[in-house]
Chain A
Amino acid sequence: MRAGRQRGSRPTRPAAGGRREIAGMDPITFEVLRNGFRAACTEGSTLLERVAYGPVITEGHDYAVGLLTADGRLVGHGTRDITPHMGTFEASVRCVLEDFETIRPGDAFLMNDPYRGGTHTLDVRLIRPIFRQGELFAFTVACTHWSDVGGPMPGTFNPQATEVFAEGLVLPPLKVYDQDRPVGPVLNLLKLNVRVPYERMGDLAGMYQAVRLMERRLLEYAGKYGARTVLRAFEEIMDYSERVFRREVREIPDGTYEFVDYADADEGAPGHPRIKFHCKLIIAGDRVTVDWTESDDAPRGPAGLTLPGLLSATYDGTLNCFPHLAPLNHGIIRALDVRTRPGSCVHVLHPTPMAGYCAGGYEKADHAVLCAWGMAFARLDPNRVYAGTVNLENCCVGGVDPRTGRRFVSYTWLEGGQGARADRDGPSFMMPMYAAGATNLSVEVLERWYPFQFLACEGVPDSAGDGRFRGGLGTRKVWRMLGEGVNSIHGDRELIGPPGLAGGRNGGPNRLVLNAGRPDEQRLGMFATGVPLRPGDEIHFFSNGGGGYGNPLERDPARVLDDVIDEVISLEKARDVYGVAIRVIDPEALRYEIDTGETARLRRELASRPVPVGYGPGEVHPYGAKLVAR
């Protein structure tokens, strides 16, 4: 059962008609097949989630499955998967086709090479060729985030890395199942090089079952409707998406729509400079060019994107403005002409490290595309304009659990604020935009799994980006160590907030602070490694609030009062940013009053003051401010 409101997706009347057939089949068979492919992928991801090991997959949903044509074009993916993976599947399959002259029924290939066909070393994919009557017919792919693929740091994330050699194993396509038998030596190589190998073998088994389940479904359809009909349906699925996409693009005024976002720091370079991600969205008729060439050079540290990762981010940011065209497929992919400069931060080359790609470059590119489309749609359809949303932080703690004597590696993340929309607030406590299917982590589960004692997990007042419509609240999670351990953090957006739009403020910061409020307080930033933890140490983990939309002085004072009552914003913020004066009468009875005279005076006064312009939390984003709504 699904509730909640989704705007802008109610079907409209079709524009054109008169076609009796779709791709040589009747439109009904086509619809049956299209739903069938989607159902097959969903079955695959459901299976993966139920059998896989570790909270990264079962709770974080950090996986995706996909269905591709025999020449490696994407047809569809699971409906609960996270999006960074699926845009790389075409590149993954291409690697298999390039590297293996003969591919046989019963083969399955494992790879994670980020430069040629992946995202970062932790995202490992299994690629299954599907044969029908001896001929290569299609591919299925399953990809999961492995909690560790070796390297010097538990959990593999290594913000200090300046080369990929410090980021664990890099796997070119390796045949890991041969005629459906596991290839022992390859598995042994893996087991010797990763921490907690049995969990990884469980992950692999889950991926293998998922690609085979999708294979069975696809072959059932081929048996029932004929292989040629299925292949034609593949093509029509792509043509369909491309057709609608181009039709809608044609309605956008020709022009260049630009957005710039920054990653906090290149940890590998002296002075830790911030890194620019510059998206130029060029619309000409129904042609779309996404030009990234003005982005900064590749960082030395692991914050950039490989080309497959950039493409995936470009697709995700785009589809968020075209949600009715999901699932992503090659029809959208070929309608986007993506331009890069090899060796830049959006197209890093071997051996530049990239383990932090997701919180780093991916999230920046994703937002830059999303907001560039927002600029393009500003006057046409404000329902497609979204301010910035909470970014991921990968917080790893490794050690030996004093309760069991076993080695553990915990990998935690945190929900936060979603960006405001043009007509309403962003929701609080949400996953990053590219991880809709992921879930937050249960404190009670974590306390059993790890030697942690949780003290808080709740919203942080005043963390949302202010605006006529504000972003959602950021969250703080606090836990105490029961044993010794080592902490590393790989995140971003402590210094650069999720972008606000149309004069709305950027969202509040991600942060990690050890022993906050104690004499031994230590701000760890977003890129610490090897921080020793002692029993009793307290980790304070904060997440971004969402970006705001529009001038906060235009927010309805009644909404400001509601936020004060709910302790989403403080009285001070109501006064200083929103210009609303509130009298507190009896908080126990929820009695408050707006001082209308003082509010009018405050708003006049604040309107005459300059606003802080910049990329930091609470500032007004310079590009976002250029957005003028209808």
Chain B
Amino acid sequence: MGRVIAAVDIGGTFSDLVALDLETGRLTNVKVPSTPPTFIEGVMDALRQAGFPPERLVAFKHGSTIATNAIIQRRGAPTGLLTTRGFRDVLEAGRSDRPDLFALGWDPNPPLVLRRNRLVATEKVDYEGQPIVPLAEEDVRAAARAFAKRGIEAVAVCFINSFMNPVHEQAARKILAQELPGVFITCSGEILPEMREFERMSTATVNAYVGPILDRYLDGLTAAMRDWGYRGDILIIHSGGGVTTADAARTIPARTCQSGPAGGVIGGALIGRLAGFPNVITFDIGGTSTDLALVHQGQPLTQAGWKVEFRIPIRFPTIDVISIGAGGGSIAWIDRGGTLKNGPHSAGARPGPACYGQGGTEPTNTDANLVLGRLNPATFLGGRMRIDLELARDAIRTKIADFYGMSVEEAAEGIVRVANANMVNGTRLISVERGYDPREFALVAFGGGGPLHAVDVARQLNIPRVVVPRYPGLASAFGQLQVEMRHDYLRPILSREREVDVDRVNRIYEELEQQARAAMLAQGVRARSVRLARTMDVKYFPQATALSIPIRAGRLGRRDIARIVRTFLERHQQEFGYTIPPEFVDVELVNARLTATAPTVTGRLPRQPERGPARAARTGVRPVYFGGRGWLRATVYDRARLRNGARLDGPAIVEQADSTTVLPPGVTAVVDPYLNLIVDLEAIL
């Protein structure tokens, strides 16, 4: 046994540990029940069960839903908000929109800070950052007095135009810190110097709201890890698809929300790269949802922000993941007009699909796949879970088939088709709508359900290859092991291209780089390990959304600015199909952005070049139902026995404890040296 790296991901129900022995390449997976409210016992249970001593652990990465859950369940710290006089309701107003066009019955969720705790101070900074009305310090003191009496534990400070000049926010913070010792204080312009008051205020408020919660959690976890004997860093996974040290995470706790999907995307990207596909769409199907992301030239697509809930945006760069309500437990139902729907309601873990025999009577995707012969009752979850075909058939017959006068098989096939159609639309959103052609990508299918649906979804989008990793159920956790250190920085430029002061742009990038290097240094990263990548947000002046343009390192000149504009015009043409010559409309340079990354200890998946024929893994033949073809005899293979070079022809089913792969007639699949299954769809496109 050698040095080990490990990642633990805390979910609402289970905590997952994955560990990689760097010498042997052996992967260990431990699943234990999560232990709310502190969750720490679950992490320690998983570490102890994994069976390696603390001194062998050389890197520990950790993702959790603690911050996200605190928001969703409204169990964050009692939080106050201090803002510019006259702007007390910005947080609650949000952008004033509703999610559906004809939905006067809809209610926004309550804001994280109620109106009574949103207090104001007189001050004004103009749009260029000039203070024009001084901060009324007595207002800040009055607010502090009220917050103190009300038991407020965290305060967000967000003044109008503070992204151009945070001077008043900083002054207010100084007073609040004096008056409210021990209270967690966040200034919006410091964590997010970006235009648009609501989005910045929301981000700062989330930061304050979860700050004390994350602090307490990290205190507890650090102590428990020390007691166990681990002395190294606890690296916290964040929404940007990177890790940061625990201490850095405490200053921007809002970034630790949404760490879950990042692991899957990074795992999918890595598996794609090993299999020879730098362009992949990751396709992760769990019990309640399908997560889709796009990786171009090895880099996951990111976006400038995301939303925890409809009215709670967090404007930190985030891996662009589209989540749709279609998973194994999603329920099929017939609406009032008589058409078949699938999801987003889910049977969840309890009662679960009808075939689980836990009292569920609604037909789910899992039930449909069972009826179609795609899942095997004998080997489901490695035989650890008994599932009942007759219960699945009953649910589909009574709820769906009888209504349409169809056979149970036809109804089950219909359920899967509707689910797949929803997944196809989601895949189009993450690819076509972002300006990428899915035909140039491979679909990497993982999660328990990904390999069941992937080939059919790929076929509908003319995606020629599907990659199924050796352990689809572990792909996401494996991805977490591979996450690098990452920090993102942002400063407004907000200048028309014709009028831009290039020296100022250079100064901004230099300052951002100093800031990034200092932060990395403080986290124990050597200067030469730090990689810096610059981008710039660029748009036509009147537009609301910008495109992110990569920028070269070093001092920029006028010609670089011209090159940035040219790249912007090309990208605009590519994504939106037209451009307007800059003579007619100004191009605006909006934000300077910098991403700093540094390697962490990561491991490699071992190559397993030993060859073997497919027939050695053959376990039998069974009837499987395929739409338009009816019942066909499909060869069944045991994934554990498939070796490098094996070639499989559809119709076939590949079974393993954590997933099942469906190969329809006409496709072939080969096993590569990493034991990935590479499915070739060319013959059926």
Instruction: Judge whether B350 is part of the interface by a CB distance below 8 angstroms.
Output: no
Min CB distance A83 to B, Å, is 6
Q: Report if A157 contacts B (CB, 8 A).
A: no
Question: B333: which A residues are within 8 A, CB to CB?
Answer: 11
**Least Cβ distance of B111 to chain A in Å?**
10
On chain A, the residues within 8 Å of B311 by CB distance are 3-4
Assess whether B337 is in contact with A243, with CB atoms less than 8 Å apart.
yes
- A185–B127 alpha-carbon span in the complex (Å): 41
The answer to whether A36 touches B421 (Cβ under 8 A) is yes
Residues 304-330 of A at the B interface (beta carbon under 8 Å): 316, 319-320, 322-324, 326-327
A155 within 8 A of B: no
Taking CB atoms and an 8 Å cut-off, the chain B residues in 280-333 that contact chain A are 306-311, 323, 333
B96 touches A439 (CB 8 A): yes
A219 within 8 A of B: no
Inter-chain CA distance A201–B126, complex, in Å, is 32
Closest approach, in angstroms, between the C-beta of B660 and any C-beta of chain A? 22
Residues of B within 8 A of A240 (CB): 337-339
Residue picked from B89, B145, B160, B323, most chain A C-beta under 10 Å: B89
CB atoms of B196 and A209 under 8 A apart:
no
A3-23 residues with Cβ-Cβ distance < 8 A to B are 3-9, 11-20, 22
What is the bound-complex CA distance between A13 and B341, given in angstroms?
12
- Docked-complex contact B421 and A31, CB < 8 angstroms: yes
| Cα A415 to Cα B108 with chains together (Å) | 14
Residues of A within 8 A of B198 (CB): 442
A153 to B146, CA, bound (A): 49
Given A34-B339, A383-B105, A440-B93: A18 in contact with B98 (beta carbons within 8 A): no
A35 touches B421 (CB 8 A): yes
Is A456 touching B115 in the complex (CB atoms < 8 A)?
no
Q: Are B115 and A568 in contact (CB under 8 A)?
A: yes
CA distance A521 to B306 in the complex (A): 44
Within 8 A of B (CB), among A430-448: 430-431, 433, 436-440, 442-445, 447-448
* Partner-contacting stretch, out of A287-295, A350-358, A417-425: A417-425
Q: Tell me how far the C-beta of A394 lies from the nearest C-beta in chain B, rounded to whole angstroms.
A: 16
Name the contact of A1 in the complex, choosing from B101, B105, B309, B580 (C-beta under 8 A): B309
Nearest CB in chain A: distance from B397 CB, A: 13
Is B674 on the interface with A (CB-CB < 8 A)? no
Q: Is the CB of A17 within 8 A of B108?
A: no
Partner of B104 from the list A13, A212, A433 (CB cut-off 8 Å) is: A433
A19 touches B404 (CB 8 A): yes
The answer to whether B339 touches A30, judged by C-beta atoms less than 8 angstroms apart, is yes
> A51 CA to B545 CA in the complex, in Å?
8
Per the 8 Å Cβ criterion, residues 560-581 of B in contact with A are: 576-578, 580
**A326–B102 touching, CB < 8 Å:** yes
Is the C-beta of A588 less than 8 angstroms from some C-beta in chain B?
A: yes
Does the CB pair B310–A457 fall under 8 Å? Answer: no
A459 near B150 with CB under 8 A, answer: no
Query: Which single residue of chain B is at the shortest CB-CB distance from A447?
Result: B127
Report yes or no: A32 in contact with B417, Cβ–Cβ below 8 A: yes
Query: Which residues 333-353 of B have a CB within 8 angstroms of A?
Result: 333-341
Q: Which chain A residues border B308 with CB–CB below 8 Å?
A: 1
Known: A4-B109, A4-B310, A17-B402. A11 touches B542 (CB 8 A): no
Taking the closest CB of chain B, its distance from the CB of A226, in whole angstroms, is 14
Complexed CA–CA distance, A588 and B117 (Å): 10
Is there a chain B Cβ closer than 8 Å to A486's Cβ? no
Our pick among A1, A19, A28, A590 for the contact of B338 (Cβ within 8 Å) is: A19
In Å, the complex CA distance between A90 and B421 comes to 29
Q: Across the interface, do A35 and B422 meet the contact criterion of CB distance under 8 Å?
A: yes
**Which residues of chain B are within 8 angstroms of A565 by Cβ–Cβ distance?**
116
Q: Does A537 contact B (CB under 8 A)?
A: no
User: Residue B406 at the A interface, CB < 8 A?
Assistant: yes
Partner among B93, B145, B196 whose Cβ is within 8 Å of the Cβ of A415: B93
Nearest CB on B from A328, distance (A)? 8
Given A16-B338, A436-B98, residue A429 in contact with residue B494 (CB < 8 A): no
A49, B111: Cα distance in complex, Å: 27
Q: Are A209 and B578 in contact (CB under 8 A)?
A: yes
> Given A323-B102, A566-B114, are A31 and B149 neighbors across the interface (CB < 8 Å)?
no
**CB 8 Å contact bits of B520-547 with A (1 = contact, 0 = none):** 0000000000000000000010111100
Q: Nearest A residue to B422 by beta-carbon distance?
A: A35
Number of A-B contacts (CB under 8 A): 280
Contact of A47 among B94, B403, B576 (CB under 8 A): B576
B72 CB contacts on chain A under 8 angstroms = 3
In whole angstroms, how far apart are the Cα atoms of A131 and B421 in the complex? Answer: 25
Q: Is the beta-carbon distance between A4 and B108 smaller than 8 angstroms?
A: yes
Q: For chain A residues 59-114, which have a beta carbon within 8 Å of chain B?
A: 59, 61, 79-81, 83
Whether B335 lies near A55 (C-beta < 8 A) is no
| Interfacial chain B residues near A165, Cβ < 8 Å | none
> When the two chains form their complex, are residues B334 and A50 in contact, meaning their CB atoms are under 8 A apart?
no
Contacting B404 at CB < 8 Å: which of A20, A36, A51? A20
Q: B174-218 toward A: CB 8 Å interface, digit per residue (1/0)?
A: 000000000000000000000111100000000000000000000
Q: Are B580 and A31 in contact (CB under 8 A)?
A: no
Name the B residues within 8 Å of A205 (CB-CB). 578, 580
Bound CA–CA A431/B101 (angstroms) = 11
Say whether A614 faces chain B, with CB atoms less than 8 Å apart.
no
- Chain B 456-486 interface mask (CB, 8 Å, partner A; 1/0): 0000000000000000000000000000000
Given contacts A32-B418, A209-B578, contact A7 B105 (CB under 8 A): yes
Check if A593 is an interface residue, CB within 8 A of chain B. no
Is B100 in contact with A323, judged by CB distance below 8 angstroms? yes
Interface residue ranges of B351-395 to A (CB < 8 Å):
none
Least CB distance, A478 to chain B, in whole angstroms: 7
Contact flag A31-B104 (CB < 8 Å), given A46-B433, A50-B545, A447-B127: no
Contact check: which of B89, B338, B417, B578 meets A14 at CB < 8 Å? B338
> Which chain B residue shows the least CB distance to A78?
B101
Contact of B89 among A34, A54, A453, A459 (CB under 8 A): A459
CA distance A4 to B108 in the complex (A): 5
CB distance from A315 to the nearest CB of B (A): 10
Q: Is B622 an interface residue (CB 8 A)?
A: no
Contacting pair B494 A440 (CB below 8 A)? no
Inter-chain contacts of B644 with A (CB < 8 A): none
Contact A437 B86 (CB under 8 A): no
Would you give the shortest CB distance from B572 to chain A, in whole angstroms? 8
CA distance A600 to B266 in the complex (A): 64
If the complex has contacts A3-B309, A35-B422, A440-B96, are A588 and B149 also in contact, measured as CB distance less than 8 A?
yes
Q: Within B134-152, which residues are at the interface with A (CB < 8 Å)?
A: 145-146, 149-150
Bound together, the chains give a CA A415 to CA B311 distance in angstroms of: 15
Cα A201 to Cα B104 with chains together (Å): 35
CA distance A439 to B97 in the complex (A): 5
What is the CA–CA distance of A206 and B402 in the complex, to the nearest angstrom?
Answer: 47
B99 within 8 A of A: yes
Q: From residue 65 to 103 of chain B, which have CB atoms closer than 8 A to chain A? A: 72, 85-90, 92-103
Identify 30 residue pairs between A and B in the complex whose beta-carbon atoms are under 8 Å apart, listed by A's number.
A4-B311, A5-B106, A5-B109, A11-B335, A19-B404, A19-B405, A28-B340, A32-B417, A51-B576, A58-B545, A81-B101, A201-B580, A202-B542, A202-B585, A320-B103, A324-B335, A427-B107, A429-B93, A429-B96, A431-B97, A436-B98, A436-B103, A437-B101, A440-B96, A442-B197, A442-B198, A447-B161, A458-B89, A459-B92, A590-B149
Closest 5 CB pairs between A and B? A456-B86, A429-B93, A58-B544, A3-B309, A439-B95
Measured CB to CB, the residues of B under 8 A from A are 72, 85-90, 92-109, 114-116, 124, 126-127, 145-146, 149-150, 160-161, 163, 195-198, 306-311, 323, 333-341, 402-406, 410, 413-414, 417-418, 421-422, 425, 428, 432-433, 494, 540, 542-545, 576-578, 580, 584-585
Binding site for B on A (CB under 8 A): 1-9, 11-20, 22, 26-28, 30-32, 34-36, 39, 43, 46-47, 49-55, 58-59, 61, 79-81, 83, 198-199, 201-202, 205-206, 208-209, 212, 240-241, 243-244, 247, 316, 319-320, 322-324, 326-327, 370, 383, 386, 389, 415, 418-419, 421, 424, 427-431, 433, 436-440, 442-445, 447-448, 453-459, 473, 475, 478, 565-568, 586, 588-590
